[in-house]
Amino acid sequence: MSSQIRASTASAPVRPARPSGLRWTLPALAFVMLFFVVPVAALLLRSITEPAFGLQNYVALLGSSTYLKIFVNTFLVSAVVTVISLTIGFPVAWALAIMPGRLASVIFAILLLSMWTNLLARTYAWMVLLQRTGLINKMLIGMGLIDQPLPLVNNLVGVTIGMTYIMLPFIILPLYGVIRKIDPAILQAAALCGATRWQSLVRVLLPLALPGMAAGALMVFVMSLGYFVTPALLGGTANMMLAELIAQFVQSLVNWGMGGAAALLLLVVTLALYAVQLRFAGDQRLGDR
Amino acid sequence: MLLDFQRLGWWKYALLAISLLTAAFLLLPILFIAALSFGSSQWLIFPPPGWTLKWYADFFADPRWLQSAWTSFQIAAIVTVLSVLLGLVTSFGLVRGKFLFRETLRALFLTPMILPVVVLAVGLYAFFLQIGLNGTMLGFVIAHLVLALPFSILSIGKALEGFDKSIEDAAVLCGASPLEAKIRVTLPAISHGLFSAAIFSFLTSWDEVVVAIFMSSPTLQTLPVKVWATLRQDLTPVVAAASTLLILLTVILMALFALVRKGLKS
């Protein structure tokens, strides 16, 4: 409307192309280019130029059993965290989607509080809870389940517990959205057609929620792959994960070539899995209505 | 019928039980830390043998803790202002503009959110070593702005998309200059987006530790870096006190956020 008015008062073309839109994004574009794209690209480039041009860093990275163990650790922990989060997260999201509003809002508040509480504070809590003299071991001994305290920190068990704690809200919230969008009439129809609850769950509800579950699970898996703080504090030095390896290459070993190669590996896996995740999220949007 | 809470039979109780257990699992460690920070046991025994404010006294008596908290606050405040301003300008371009590769550009702006932070941290560390920004306030601000900006673009963009542009056009028709119409009509209408952008930006910077570890120097540390460095040595209860203060700030900001949302809705 305004363009018509302006066109009648000035001799401007009626529908001016809007270069203004692009112009407004230029400051942010320059910023993101200079301080995000270029530094990350430069880091990745160093993986094939340092110490000499070639793929020697990748050969060293993929050919060594030390690094292989780190990759396996990373994938294993991320996979286990994802499976546990999904197994717990699905019923919780389901319950949240249908439970009375007041109770649901209390649980939501707890989810958000946990998500936004400082990551170090949460990790610290688990370091204290899981240590040899910590509350968990004391309770297990008190209940007579074990005689000796279990080693729960400085190993992958600790990392898995701590990471699951952090990832749970990240899977519950999107799953909640997915289940909320499912039309209850579909499940009513299943019940009317004589499906038992178990049949409804396995053959109707789960398949309907599946794209959302896949998208959520992939997101949690990818986030876990690149996690740094929690594995470093709960895993100890002997159980390194990929993000720590990158940091160690750069900080302690000052080996930019290897650091860049490990970063590229993490980046490629991350972006590839995100591409898959977007497809699942896209399918889900198509299925909405 | 599985999506009707009242008609789930005993499954209802199973779902309720697992939800409550999960909520407890998420909440208890946070309460545990808060309780420990008042406990008198140096070795973090729980339940504590007695109660004390010693760890808070230690925290406030040590200039390094206070200094790092102040540094964190300054960085987070500057990042918040810059992130909202830049996010606002960029959102106008992304929402209102029609140009080639607009969606690609939007995706590029959001990428720092999904990329492993350690990659950004190491990349910026290398870059800042070369241009001398490592261990400076400016370096911290730039690094945290990269991470905070996507949250601003998301929040403000969403608010702007929900705003009917013809209202702004009406103001222009009534004689306001385009800029005046934006400031006096559009900005108040999208203030909830600006507010969420500010809170998310602040918390992103205030809580961030991975990039901060790389940016920090012995003389310039943020609070999370100080917590990190302390935790690598021992599990002193002073960290419980520091964590509780961090949790308190989160709770206050979340409550503020909820209040403003409620206020805007009614």
| CATH, range B63-265 | 1.10.3720.10
Per-residue pLDDT tens listing for chain B (266 residues) = 788 888 888 899 999 999 999 999 999 999 999 999 999 988 888 888 899 999 999 999 999 999 999 999 999 999 999 999 999 999 999 998 888 888 899 999 999 998 999 999 999 999 999 999 999 999 999 999 999 999 999 999 999 999 999 999 999 999 999 999 999 999 999 999 999 999 999 999 999 999 999 999 989 999 999 999 999 888 899 999 999 998 898 889 888 888 887 776 66
Q: DSSP characters for B84-114?
A: HHHHHHHHHHHHH---TTHHHHHHHHHHHHH
Query: Average of pLDDT values for A113-138?
Result: 92
Contacts of B46 (CB under 8 A, 6+ apart): A134, A135, A138, B32, B35, B36, B39
Q: Which residues contact residue B47 at a Cβ distance below 8 angstroms, ignoring those fewer than 6 apart?
A: B35, B39
Q: Is the pLDDT of residue A58 over 70?
A: yes
Q: How many CB pairs under 8 A join A and B?
A: 278
**Rounded Cα–Cα distance for residues B42 and B23 (Å):** 29
Burial class (CB in 10 A: 0-12, 13-18, 19+), B47: exposed
Tokens in use for A194?
């004589």
Task: Give the per-residue pLDDT at B47.
Answer: 85
Q: What are phi and psi of A236, to 5 degrees?
A: 75, 175
Question: Considering chain A, what is the average pLDDT of its residues?
Answer: 88
Give pLDDT, residue B51.
93
Q: Please tell me what DSSP assigns to residue A194.
A: T
Which residue among B11, B169, B203 sits closest to A1, beta carbon to beta carbon? B169
- The pLDDT value given to residue B44: 85
The shortest CB-CB distance from A43 to any of B99, B105, B126 is to: B126
Comparing CA positions, the residue from A165, A152, A168, A159 lying closest to residue A233 is: A159
Confidence bin at A20 (pLDDT 50/70/90): low
**Would you put residue B140 in left (φ > 0), alpha (ψ -120 to 50) or beta?**
alpha
* Domain at A144, CATH number: 1.10.3720.10
Dihedral-angle region of residue B163 (phi above 0 means left; psi in -120 to 50 means alpha; beta otherwise): beta
Q: Which residue has the higher pLDDT, A231 or A237?
A: A231
pLDDT computed for residue B253 by the predictor: 87
Q: Are A234 and A194 in contact (CB under 8 A)?
A: no
Measured in angstroms, the CA of B38 and the nearest CA of chain A are apart by 14
Tell me, yes or no, if B227 comes closer than 8 A to chain A by beta carbon: yes
Q: Is B132 helix (H, G, I), strand (E, B) or coil?
A: coil
Would an 8 Å CB–CB cutoff place B81 in contact with chain A? no
Q: Supply the pLDDT for residue B266.
A: 60
Q: Which of residues 78-97 of A touch B (CB under 8 A)?
A: 88, 91-92, 94-97
Nearest CA in chain A to B226: A120
Query: How many domains, in total, are found in chain A?
Result: 1
Secondary element (H or E) of residue B6: none
Q: How many residues does chain A have?
A: 289
* pLDDT score for A19: 55
- What is the amino acid identity at position A139? M
Provide the β-strand partners of residue B51: B39
**ipTM for the complex?**
0.89
Residue A225 and residue A220: Cα distance in Å, rounded? 9
Sketch the domain layout of chain B as residue ranges: 5-37, 63-265
Model confidence over A64-116: pLDDT tens digits? 999 999 999 999 999 999 999 999 999 999 999 999 889 999 999 999 999 98
Neighbours of A23 (CB within 10 A): 14
Question: Which amino acid appears at position A272 of this protein?
Answer: A
CB contact under 8 A, B29 and A131: no
| CA pair distance B101, A271, nearest whole angstrom | 19
Of B173, B209, B250, which is closest to A229 when you measure between CB atoms? B209
Q: Which two tokens stand for residue B48?
A: 């504590």
Phi, psi of A36 (to 5 degrees): -130, -60
Q: End-to-end CA distance of chain A: give it in Å, rounded.
A: 33
Give the integer Cα–Cα distance in Å for A135 and B119.
36
- Among candidates B2, B36, B251 on the partner chain, residue whose Cβ is nearest the Cβ of A201: B2
Among A32, A127, A202, A244, most B C-beta atoms within 10 A, so best to mutate, is A32
Report the predicted TM-score, pTM, of the whole model to 2 decimal places.
Answer: 0.88
> Scanning every residue of chain B, which has its alpha carbon at the shortest distance from the alpha carbon of A138?
B46
What are the residue ranges of helices labelled H in chain B? Answer: 11-37, 54-61, 63-96, 102-114, 117-131, 137-161, 165-173, 178-181, 187-189, 191-207, 210-215, 223-233, 237-265
What residue type is A119 in one-letter code?
Answer: L
Distance of CA B194 to the CA centre of its chain: 14
Measure the CA–CA gap between B122 and A257, rounded to whole angstroms.
12
Interchain CB distance below 8 Å, A25 and B93: yes
- By C-alpha distance, the chain B residue nearest A26 is B90
- Which of A126-130, A270-274, B177-181, B261-265 has the lowest average pLDDT? B261-265
Q: Do B122 and A21 touch (CB under 8 A)?
A: no
Residue A166 pLDDT > 60: yes
Mean local confidence (pLDDT), A54-63: 91
pLDDT, residue B241, reads 94
**With 50 as the cut, is the pLDDT of residue A14 above it?**
no
Q: How many angstroms separate the CA atoms of B205 and A227, rounded?
A: 17
- What is the number of alpha carbons within 13 Å of residue A255 lying toward its C-beta? 16
Nearest CA-CA distance, residue B127 and chain A, Å: 6
Comparing alpha-carbon positions, the chain A residue that sits nearest to B253 is: A116
Amino acid, res. B35: A
Q: Could you tell me how far CA B47 lies from the centroid of its own chain?
A: 32
What's the pLDDT score for residue A11? 45
Q: A88 has which bridge partners?
A: none
pLDDT at A282: 66
A187 touches B: beta carbon within 8 Å = yes
